Structure 1
Amino acid sequence: MTDISQFQSRRDWLLSNQPASRLQARLGRAYMIWLSFSANRLALVGLAVILGLLLVALFAPWLAPRSPFVGDLANARLLPPGTDGYLLGTDSQGRDILSRLIHGSRLTLMVVVLVAIIAAPLGLLVGAVAGYAGGWIDAVLMRITDIFLAFPKLVLAMAFVAALGPGIENAVLAIAITSWPPYARMARAEAMGVRNSDYIAAVRLMGASPARIVIRHIMPMCLSSLIVRVTLDMAGIILTAAGLGFLGLGAQPPLPEWGAMIASGRLYILDQWWVATMPGIAIVIVSLGFNLLGDGLRDALDPREAGK
Structure 2
Amino acid sequence: MTALHAWLSDPNPSSRRQAKLGQIWLAWLRIRRNRLAMVGLVIVGLLLVVAAFAPWIAPHDPYVQDLSRRLLPPGTPGNLLGTDDFGRDILSRIIYGARITLYTIGLVAVTAPVLGLLVGTVAGYFGGWIDAVLMRVTDIFLAFPRLILALALVAVLGPGIENAVLAIALTAWPPYARLARAETLTVRSSDYIAAIRLQGASSARIIAGHVVPMCLPSVIIRVTLDMAGVILIAAGLGFLGLGVQPPLPEWGLMISSGRKFLFEQWWVATMPGLAILIVSLGFNLLGDGLRDVLDPKSAPK
Task: Give yes or no for TM over 0.5.
Answer: yes
**Counterpart position of 1:236:** 229
- The structure 1 residue matched to 2:106, chosen from 110, 113, 116, is 113
**Counterpart position of 2:241:** 248
Residue 65 (str. 1) matches residue 59 (str. 2): yes
* TM-score using structure 2 length: 0.98
- The structure 2 residue matched to 1:299, chosen from 280, 292, 296, is 292
Counterpart of 2:251 in structure 1: which amino acid? W
Q: Deviations over 1:11-55 (max 9, x none)?
A: 222222221111111111111111111110110110000110001
Q: Deviations over 1:196-241 (max 9, x none)?
A: 0001000000000111111111001111111110000000000000
**Counterpart position of 1:192:** 185
Distance, in Å, in 2 between the alignment partners of 1:155 and 1:227 is: 25
* Larger displacement relative to structure 2 (28-37 or 106-115): 28-37
**Counterpart position of 1:40:** 34
Counterpart of 2:40 in structure 1: which amino acid? G
- The structure 2 residue matched to 1:26, chosen from 17, 20, 24, is 20
- The structure 2 residue matched to 1:209, chosen from 202, 215, 239, is 202
- The structure 1 residue matched to 2:167, chosen from 156, 159, 174, is 174
- The structure 1 residue matched to 2:217, chosen from 203, 215, 224, is 224
Matched positions, count: 301
Distance, in Å, in 2 between the alignment partners of 1:198 and 1:92 is: 66
Distance, in Å, in 1 between the alignment partners of 2:300 and 2:286 is: 20
Contact 1:36/1:306, CA 8 A, preserved across alignment: no
Deviation at 1:142, TM superposition (A): 0.5
* Secondary structure in 1 matching 2:117: helix
Counterpart of 1:199 in structure 2: which amino acid? Y
Between the two proteins, what is the percent identity of the paired residues?
68
Distance, in Å, in 1 between the alignment partners of 2:300 and 2:233 is: 37
Contact 1:300/1:306, CA 8 A, preserved across alignment: no
Counterpart of 2:108 in structure 1: which amino acid? V
Residue 50 (str. 1) matches residue 5 (str. 2): no
Distance, in Å, in 2 between the alignment partners of 1:43 and 1:291 is: 9
**Counterpart position of 1:17:** 11
Distance, in Å, in 1 between the alignment partners of 2:31 and 2:91 is: 32
Rate the CA distance shift 1:84–1:16 in 2: closer, same or farther, 3 A: closer
Counterpart of 2:89 in structure 1: which amino acid? D
Distance, in Å, in 2 between the alignment partners of 1:142 and 1:161 is: 24
Moved segments of 4+, more than 3 Å: none
Residue 142 (str. 1) matches residue 142 (str. 2): no
Deviation at 1:9, TM superposition (A): 2.4
Structure 1 regions of 5+ residues with no counterpart?
1-6
Counterpart of 2:275 in structure 1: which amino acid? A
Contact 1:162/1:249, CA 8 A, preserved across alignment: yes
**Counterpart position of 1:3:** none
Distance, in Å, in 2 between the alignment partners of 1:263 and 1:172 is: 19
**Counterpart position of 2:272:** 279
**Counterpart position of 1:165:** 158
* TM-score using structure 1 length: 0.96
Structure 2 regions of 5+ residues with no counterpart?
none
Distance, in Å, in 2 between the alignment partners of 1:130 and 1:111 is: 28
Distance, in Å, in 2 between the alignment partners of 1:226 and 1:206 is: 28
Deviation at 1:8, TM superposition (A): 2.4
Distance, in Å, in 1 between the alignment partners of 2:92 and 2:155 is: 30
